[in-house]
Amino acid sequence: MLELLWLVPALPLAGFLALALIGGRLRRGGAALNGVGSISAATLLAFFVAGTFITSPPRGRVFRQTLWTWIDVDGFTPAMGLHLDALSLTMMLVVTFVGFLIHLYAWEFMEEEEGFSRFFAYTNLFVAAMLTLVLADNLLLLYLGWEGVGLCSYLLIGFWYKDAANGAAARKAFIVTRVGDTAMAIGLFLLFTQLGTLDIRELMQRATQQWPVGSTAAVAAAWLLLGGAVGKSAQLPLQTWLPDAMAGPTPVSALIHAATMVTAGVYLIARTHVLFELAPGVQLAVAVIGTATLLIAGCSALTQWDIKRVLAYSTISQIGYMFLALGVGAWSAAIFHFMTHAFFKALLFLGAGAVILALHHEHNMFKMGGLWKQLPVTFWTFLIGSAALAALPLITSGFYSKELILLRAWNAPNGGAWLWAGGLLGALITSIYTFRMVFITFFGEAKQQAAKRPGARIHVPLVVLALLTIAGGFFGLPEFLHPALPPQPHGNESAARELALESVAAIISVLGIFIAYVLFLRNRGIADKLTATGAGSALQRYWFSGWGFDWLYDRLLVRPYVGAARANKSDIVEQIYRIITDAARACYAALSATQTGQLRWYAKAIAAGAAVVVAIMVFL
Amino acid sequence: MNVVFYVSAAIAVLSTALAISRVNAVHALLYLIVSLLSVALIFFVIGAPFIAALEVIIYAGAIMVVFIFVVMMLNLGEQAAEQERLWLSPGIWFGPSILALILIGELIYILGLGGFEISASESIGPKQIGIALFGPYVLAVELASILLLAGLIGAYRLGRRGSVAAEPGGEGT
Amino acid sequence: MTGASLPMEYGLALAGILFALGLVGVLVRRNIVFILLSIEIMLNAAGLAFVVAGSHWGQPDGQVMFMLILTMAAAEVAVGLALVLQLAQRFNTLDMDAASKMRG
């Protein structure tokens, strides 16, 4: 059964090709069957492979399948190979299953839209690329998947291309992630030239053998890979693209910008964790970046009025938690949080999409209200997802994963207490903005009536994801991942200390819900008074704009570049080439001026020529 | 005899210079005829009497006469002379004169490198020319006759009034 | 009767001067009749050079060449003047610069 692993990424790719070539000629049903069917087949297959892997694990708990040699040049031979261990198995299952649910949802969500088959073509390509990314056995193939998901992200954000703003948002996403991708490519070059291979297992082995801890090569490579991860996962300083990426359809936001693509950076760091262990300074930087990002994004989420932007900032914040976990060496905790986050964030996005669809594409939360009666299934599943996001104790998987991260942060060797405090503060803010969103959207007086109830294809994914959100904490993922990802090196605390820390986290999350209740359900006046003060309104504007990063980048990078491009409009380099053509043209003009058509002119020319020739013959 | 040469040379140069600078076509032709006659005299003096005769008969007598006929056909009157006066401003002599002076200068220089031997002074009569023509140069004579034939036909065809112009462009030749 | 006993170079110099004068005439004049006239001057000068050279060596070849040149000049004049008539008829002018359609 394990040999069928290659079909898991191949089936969505085949689906993409079919839809790309003949999708235009299929009717809705056919395109949906193609698009959803390929993903469901891949999901089934993934489950079979997982079953085989778990019940009869291969030797060393790693299964490798090399399909063919991709490049064979002078000692550089990356292959099209798949590497299946606990980590990539987890990623594969999450990507295919959540992907399947979202495709099912999108079947109903995108029903009225034109470009239906184009949508499914892109999403199929995305799933294929993402699976390539997580199953790759060498960094070059991973980079192929990396670029592929970036491309699909661009195509899908700008799906409704007729509105220029969507195209701008797509370009912004692509360009910002490109900065990270370039850093990652340079990192790959560095790794190859220093260590001679890009095969991940080989690479990690050679790195531990040849590079001492803290050596410049390791540090440089780790920084560069971190750059790539930061770009793709929308962390500081490359986080500006994700809120704008909400211009795409909601299933896209759910699939790409919540559950899967943005976690590619987390996967990359987890996969190359050996390299980060060789560069402790960079690993600390990962944790610091994670903490800073989660706080910044959390504060920004507190002020947003667009429901999707709240969720976007929330995603950035939660990935900050994953980075924090990676930074303190808790690799499996990060992946655990990734899994639970994939479930509840996808659930929240799909729920938000159902609300948006029911209210005729209304995104402003403050124009919604009282929906808990009108959209009951949506409301209950959304509530479960929000509880998980706020890490409501004991019943939600979000609690277990976030708690594990905070625990591991406390245990970290440098600055553990600060990181833990930052994570805790972030948890408080998360609770507040999450339930602010819930209370404003679903409670209070109904400002609009829901036009139509969502159908089964929307409700089923919501319910399934809600169940997974509750049950996900009990899968025992961290232990499952231990063969692939080692546990945190620095010892565990005593049980009493652990209990104390857990209680603190639990109290904080409930406190946050209570604060949100007070501010946004019971008496909105308090919040309005706070934002009416000078400091309050300034803070609100600052946080609303994402702490001014867009403004900064615009002034620092975009404007000088656009100005330079405008100044070079006549393109200096082209002018140099134009010299050649202008010289030719000048010669042409000069020579054609000699063709006057007048006989006397020609006679003069002959006479002058004769004089010159005779002179040459006489005197030379 | 050298005096004759020098005098004739002077007259030739002078009359040629006058010929090219007249505004009236007939005047120019007449001056040219004078120049040709003096050249014929030079031919006689250096021992080519037959050629001297030919110069007078054919060059001055036939070719120049054709020129005069054509000039009379063209009816170049006072108006044409006026036009020529306009065209012949003093300034336009400058460039060509420079060019000509350069060429003459080069020629004189080359000639100056020569040996300056005195030429043989017996005259070569028609008999020797005839022997040469029918001997080594017989082919040239035939070619010259063909050339004359071509010239004859061409002149006849091209000279017809309203002939070439009136025909449409679809003709073969 | 003895002829003139002069170095060849004098005759050639005279031929050169006449040729240059004819060249000047070609370059300066705009009326086509005068241009043809100047060409005749040049041809005559060339012939003079031939005859002088032939006389210098005491051989008839120079004179033979002159006869051929004469023949050629006659043919050329005939055809040339016929063309002049055509030019005058078509362009209504004898200005050489009017016939410059092969320009550029």
Burial class (CB in 10 A: 0-12, 13-18, 19+), A147: middle
Rounded to a whole number of angstroms, the distance between the first and last alpha carbons of chain B is 55
pLDDT reported for residue B172? 45
Give the HSE-up count for residue A261: Cα atoms under 13 Å, Cβ half-sphere.
Answer: 33
Indicate if the pLDDT at residue B165 is higher than 60.
no
Answer whether A402's CB lies under 8 Å from A430's CB.
no
Task: Give the model confidence (pLDDT) of A2-59 as tens digits.
Answer: 888 899 999 999 999 999 998 878 888 888 888 899 999 999 999 999 999 888 888 8
Task: Give the model confidence (pLDDT) of A321-335 as tens digits.
Answer: 999 999 988 888 899
pLDDT reported for residue A395? 82
Using the CB atoms, write b or e for A584-615: b if 16+ within 10 Å: eeeeeeeeeeeebebbbbebbeebbeebeebe
pLDDT reported for residue B87? 83
φ, ψ for residue A395 (rounded to 5)?
A: -100, -10
Beta bridge partners of A68: A80
User: Amino acid identity, residue C97?
Assistant: D
Work out the minimum CA distance from A605 to partner chain C, whole angstroms: 10
CB within 8 A of A380, min separation 6: which ones?
A466
In chain A, helix, strand, coil percent, each to 5? 75, 5, 20
Q: How confident is the model at residue A444 (pLDDT cuts 50, 70, 90)?
A: confident
User: What average pLDDT does chain C have?
Assistant: 89
How far apart (Å, rounded) are the C-alpha atoms in residues A244 and A249?
12
User: Amino acid identity, residue A246?
Assistant: M
Work out the minimum CA distance from C33 to partner chain B, whole angstroms: 8
How far apart (Å, rounded) are the C-alpha atoms in residues A543 and B112?
101
Burial class (CB in 10 A: 0-12, 13-18, 19+), C19: buried
Indicate if the pLDDT at residue C8 is higher than 90.
no
Answer whether A31's CB lies under 8 Å from A115's CB.
no
pLDDT reported for residue A425? 92
pLDDT reported for residue C3? 65
Could you tell me the pTM of the whole model? Answer: 0.72
Q: How confident is the model at residue A523 (pLDDT cuts 50, 70, 90)?
A: confident
Indicate if the pLDDT at residue B148 is higher than 50.
yes
Residue A65, H or E segment: strand A63-69
With both helix axes pointing from N to C terminus, report the angle between A86-109 and A28-55 in degrees, rounded to the nearest 10: 160
Q: What are the start-end ranges of the E strands in A127-221?
A: none
CB within 8 A of A442, min separation 6: which ones?
A368, A369, A370, A371, A372, A379, A382, A383
pLDDT reported for residue A598? 82
Indicate if the pLDDT at residue A130 is higher than 70.
yes
Number of Cβ pairs < 8 A linking chain A and chain C: 30
Task: Give the model confidence (pLDDT) of A384-410 as tens digits.
Answer: 999 999 988 878 888 888 988 888 888
Task: Give the model confidence (pLDDT) of A335-356 as tens digits.
Answer: 999 999 999 999 999 999 999 8
- Alpha-helical (H) ranges within A240-358 are 241-244, 250-254, 264-271, 273-277, 280-301, 307-327, 331-358
Taking residue A372's Cβ as centre, other Cβ atoms within 10 Å add up to 18
Taking residue A119's Cβ as centre, other Cβ atoms within 10 Å add up to 27
With both helix axes pointing from N to C terminus, report the angle between A116-135 and A86-109 in degrees, rounded to the nearest 10: 170
Q: How confident is the model at residue A463 (pLDDT cuts 50, 70, 90)?
A: very high
User: What average pLDDT does chain A have?
Assistant: 88
- Alpha-helical (H) ranges within A211-263 are 216-232, 241-244, 250-254
Higher pLDDT, A411 or A116: A116
**ipTM of the complex, rounded to two decimals:** 0.90
pLDDT reported for residue B120? 67
User: Amino acid identity, residue A613?
Assistant: V
Query: Which of these, B50, B68, B53, lies nearest to B123 by C-alpha position?
Result: B50
Stretch A109-133: mean pLDDT: 91
- Portion of chain C with pLDDT greater than 70, in percent: 95
Least confident span in A273-282, A487-496, A608-617, B94-103:
A487-496
Work out the minimum CA distance from A575 to partner chain C, whole angstroms: 28
Does B107 sit within 8 Å of C11, measured CB to CB? no
Q: How confident is the model at residue A489 (pLDDT cuts 50, 70, 90)?
A: low
Work out the minimum CA distance from A607 to partner chain C, whole angstroms: 8
Burial class (CB in 10 A: 0-12, 13-18, 19+), A234: buried
Taking residue B149's Cβ as centre, other Cβ atoms within 10 Å add up to 11
Task: Give the model confidence (pLDDT) of B17-37 as tens digits.
Answer: 999 998 888 999 999 999 999
Q: Cis peptide leading into A251, omega within 30 of 0?
A: no
Query: Which of these, A469, A546, A15, lies nearest to A244 by C-alpha position?
Result: A546
Q: Which two tokens stand for residue B4?
A: 């004759």
pLDDT reported for residue B171? 47
Give contacts of C102 with chain A, Cβ < 8 Å.
Answer: 595, 597
Give contacts of A603 with chain C, Cβ < 8 Å.
Answer: 26-27
Does B106 sit within 8 Å of A611, measured CB to CB? yes
Does A596 sit within 8 Å of C35, measured CB to CB? no
How far apart (Å, rounded) are the C-alpha atoms in residues B105 and B115?
18
Taking residue A270's Cβ as centre, other Cβ atoms within 10 Å add up to 24
Q: How confident is the model at residue A129 (pLDDT cuts 50, 70, 90)?
A: very high
CB within 8 A of A553, min separation 6: which ones?
A240
Q: How confident is the model at residue B163 (pLDDT cuts 50, 70, 90)?
A: low
Dihedral sign, Cα of residue A70, residue A72, residue A73, residue A75: positive
pLDDT reported for residue A548? 86
How far apart (Å, rounded) are the C-alpha atoms in residues A572 and A566?
12
Higher pLDDT, A530 or C59: C59
Helix (H, G, I), strand (E, B) or coil at B170: coil
Stretch A535-562: mean pLDDT: 87
- Portion of chain B with pLDDT greater than 90, in percent: 50
Kindly state whether C5 is in contact with chain A, defined as any CB-CB distance less than 8 angstroms. Answer: no
Indicate if the pLDDT at residue A195 is higher than 80.
yes
Task: Give the model confidence (pLDDT) of C25-64 as tens digits.
Answer: 999 988 889 999 999 999 999 999 999 999 888 889 999 9
Give contacts of C67 with chain B, Cβ < 8 Å.
Answer: 51, 54, 129, 133, 144
Helix (H, G, I), strand (E, B) or coil at A83: strand
pLDDT reported for residue C1? 46
User: Amino acid identity, residue A222?
Assistant: A
Higher pLDDT, B125 or B163: B125
Burial class (CB in 10 A: 0-12, 13-18, 19+), A14: middle
How far apart (Å, rounded) are the C-alpha atoms in residues A268 and A87?
11
- Portion of chain A with pLDDT greater than 70, in percent: 99
Does C88 sit within 8 Å of B66, measured CB to CB? no
Name the one residue in this structure whose structure tokens are 């000069």.
A590
Task: Give the model confidence (pLDDT) of C9-19 as tens digits.
Answer: 889 999 999 99
Give the HSE-up count for residue A341: Cα atoms under 13 Å, Cβ half-sphere.
Answer: 30
pLDDT reported for residue A493? 65
pLDDT reported for residue C101? 80
Answer whether A350's CB lies under 8 Å from A251's CB.
yes
Q: How confident is the model at residue A309 (pLDDT cuts 50, 70, 90)?
A: very high
Interface probe for A, chosen from C21, C27, C30 (most Cβ of A below 10 Å), is C27
How far apart (Å, rounded) are the C-alpha atoms in residues A392 and A282?
32
Taking residue C96's Cβ as centre, other Cβ atoms within 10 Å add up to 20
How far apart (Å, rounded) are the C-alpha atoms in residues A513 and B47?
136
Query: Which of these, A438, A402, A435, lies nearest to A420 by C-alpha position?
Result: A402
How far apart (Å, rounded) are the C-alpha atoms in residues B10 and B18?
12
pLDDT reported for residue A398? 86
Q: Searching chain A, which residue's CA lies closest to the CA of residue B95?
A: A604
What are chain B's partners, defined as 3 or more CB pairs within 8 angstroms? A, C
